[in-house]
């Protein structure tokens, strides 16, 4: 028996008609639209949350609160700039070619490139997301304190709220690093090993 | 959905299912079949009628399979370990050519399994090269290695 003997068995299997009744053709079109929407509006809710918070802050500092100080206003502007920055960074992370008919080698390269982008994005979350957010938060806290009491030094409540934010950011940082270690790194390793297997044999 | 696409998929249904069977297990096979169909439908407008249908199907199906492999890494590693342990016993117990084919496909890595399926389907090294993105000589070497591995497992 040799490998070519399997060709007969293979041909027999291929001549069998496909189990068409179990295939949900009508779902395919809908799934394609969903997938396109998913690609176009990925990270939508995260961006929406940042834009929402910045809009509320702008409204609070510029429109609704009378006598908001320059620092509060600066904080509001910083929120808007920060939200736009997050939108740009997240949008950039989606820019990977998603064609279905690449060669296997290109497909693996694309998947590796996408994962490396994700890895660098979530691995550096402290630099592009949390540190600026902390700075913006500090501005808003100090500005808010000045508007209420005339002093830039916040009271105990202000510090407690700020400390809660810092703790929350520390958790987000830890969680992102953990996700990189537990999810992205093993996937990346697996894909790179597949790629090596393909190219080096 | 154009009926010619539906007809084409029916004609090549066994091939699509076989590819899905190699890269997914249990209930996930149907999901992978559906994903392959979805991608075939999406790339159908770009399919040139002068191109070989099998080549297009393999290209799109392997793209889908690789995405699937990426999403199921943990389960797959467990299954691969079990398959590697049980491979010699399965080779001994194979009573039909269907068992031999299924067993040998399961024992190979993702890339070799793809090459084997295309080889059994009669694709040339050049066609495989267009699907995989590696040169024809490398493919010929790998096919020879597959032949050797098959003899070592099922003939000796």
Put simply, the answer to whether A31 touches B59 (Cβ < 8 Å) is no
Could you say which of B14, B73, B100 has the minimum Cβ distance to residue A13? B14
Q: Is the pLDDT of residue B71 over 60?
A: yes
Q: Does A21 touch chain B (CB under 8 A)?
A: no
Q: Is the pLDDT of residue B35 over 70?
A: yes
Minimum distance, in Å, between the CA of residue A7 and any CA atom of chain B? 5
Probe site for chain B from A15, A34, A104 (most B CB atoms < 10 A): A104
Mean pLDDT of B44-66: 85
Put simply, the answer to whether B33 touches A23 (Cβ < 8 Å) is yes
Q: Is the pLDDT of residue A169 over 60?
A: yes
What percent of chain A is modeled with pLDDT above 90? 2
Q: Does A59 touch chain B (CB under 8 A)?
A: no
Q: Ranked by mean pLDDT, which of A58-67, A97-106, A181-190, B24-33 comes out on top?
A: A181-190
Minimum distance, in Å, between the CA of residue A176 and any CA atom of chain B? 19
Please state which of the ranges A95-104, A129-138, B29-38, B142-151 shows the lowest mean pLDDT.
A95-104
pLDDT band at B147 (very low <50, low <70, confident <90, very high): very high
Could you say which of B41, B60, B122 has the minimum Cβ distance to residue A101? B60
Q: Does B123 touch chain A (CB under 8 A)?
A: no
Q: Is the pLDDT of residue B34 over 70?
A: yes
Compute the mean pLDDT over every residue in chain B, rounded to the nearest whole number. Answer: 83
pLDDT reported for residue B123: 93
pLDDT band at B138 (very low <50, low <70, confident <90, very high): very high
What percent of chain A is modeled with pLDDT above 70? 74
pLDDT reported for residue B99: 87
Residue of B nearest to A199 (CA): B134
pLDDT tens-place string over residues A69-87: 777 778 878 878 888 888 7
Q: Does A101 touch chain B (CB under 8 A)?
A: yes
pLDDT tens-place string over residues A125-143: 888 888 888 888 888 888 8
DSSP at B96: S
Q: Does A199 touch chain B (CB under 8 A)?
A: yes
Give me the total of CB pairs closer than 8 Å, taking one residue from chain A and one from chain B.
150
Please state which of the ranges A95-99, A153-157, B10-14, B30-34 shows the lowest mean pLDDT.
A95-99
pLDDT tens-place string over residues A96-120: 666 666 888 888 888 888 889 889 9
Probe site for chain A from B60, B70, B122, B145 (most A CB atoms < 10 A): B70
pLDDT reported for residue B24: 85
pLDDT reported for residue A75: 80
Compute the mean pLDDT over every residue in chain A, rounded to the nearest whole number. Answer: 78
Q: Is the pLDDT of residue A18 over 60?
A: no
Put simply, the answer to whether A27 touches B34 (Cβ < 8 Å) is yes
Q: Is the pLDDT of residue A40 over 60?
A: no
Q: What is the pTM of this model?
A: 0.72
Q: Which of residues 113-132 of A touch B (CB under 8 A)?
A: none
DSSP output for chain A: --GGGHHHHHHHHHHSPP-GGG--HHHHHHHHHHHHHHHHTTTHHHHHHHHHHHHHHHIIIIIISTT--HHHHHHHHHHHHHHHHHHHHHHHHT-----S-S-HHHHHHHHHHHHHHHHHHHHTHIIIIIHHHHHHHHHHHHHHHHHHHS-SS--HHHHHHHHHHHHHHHHHHHHHHHHIIIIIHHHHHHHHHHHHHHHH-
């Amino acid at each position: 028996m040799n490998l070519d003997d399997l060709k007969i068995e293979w041909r027999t299997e291929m001549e069998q008609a496909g189990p068409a009744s179990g295939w949900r053709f009508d779902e395919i079109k809908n799934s394609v639209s969903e997938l396109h929407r998913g690609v176009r509006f990925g990270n939508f809710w995260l961006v929406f949350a940042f834009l929402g918070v910045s809009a509320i802050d702008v409204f609070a500092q510029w429109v609704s609160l009378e006598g908001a100080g320059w620092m509060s206003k600066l904080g509001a502007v910083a929120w808007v700039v920060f939200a736009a920055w997050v939108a740009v960074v997240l949008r950039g992370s989606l820019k990977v070619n998603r064609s279905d008919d690449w060669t296997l080698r290109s497909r693996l390269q694309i998947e590796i490139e996408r994962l490396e982008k994700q890895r660098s994005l979530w691995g550096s979350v402290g630099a592009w997301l949390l540190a600026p957010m902390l700075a913006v938060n500090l501005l808003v806290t100090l500005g808010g304190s000045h508007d209420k009491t005339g002093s830039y030094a916040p009271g105990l409540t202000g510090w407690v709220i700020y400390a809660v934010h810092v703790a929350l950011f520390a958790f987000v940082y830890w969680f992102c690093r953990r996700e990189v270690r537990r999810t992205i790194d093993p996937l990346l390793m697996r894909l790179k090993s597949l790629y090596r297997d393909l190219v080096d044999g | 959905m154009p009926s010619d696409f539906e007809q084409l998929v029916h004609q090549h249904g066994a091939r699509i299912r076989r590819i899905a069977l190699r890269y997914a297990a249990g209930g996930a096979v149907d999901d992978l079949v559906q994903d392959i169909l979805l991608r075939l439908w999406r790339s159908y407008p770009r399919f040139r009628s002068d191109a070989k249908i099998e080549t297009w199907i393999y290209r799109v199906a392997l793209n889908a399979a690789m995405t699937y492999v990426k999403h199921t890494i943990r389960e797959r590693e467990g299954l691969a370990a079990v398959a590697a342990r049980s491979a010699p016993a399965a080779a001994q117990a194979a009573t039909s050519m269907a068992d031999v084919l299924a067993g040998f496909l399961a024992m190979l890595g993702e890339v070799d399994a793809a090459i084997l399926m295309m080889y059994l389907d009669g694709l040339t090294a050049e066609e495989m090269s267009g699907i995989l993105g590696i040169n024809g000589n490398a493919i010929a070497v790998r096919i020879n290695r597959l032949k050797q591995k098959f003899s070592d497992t099922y003939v000796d």
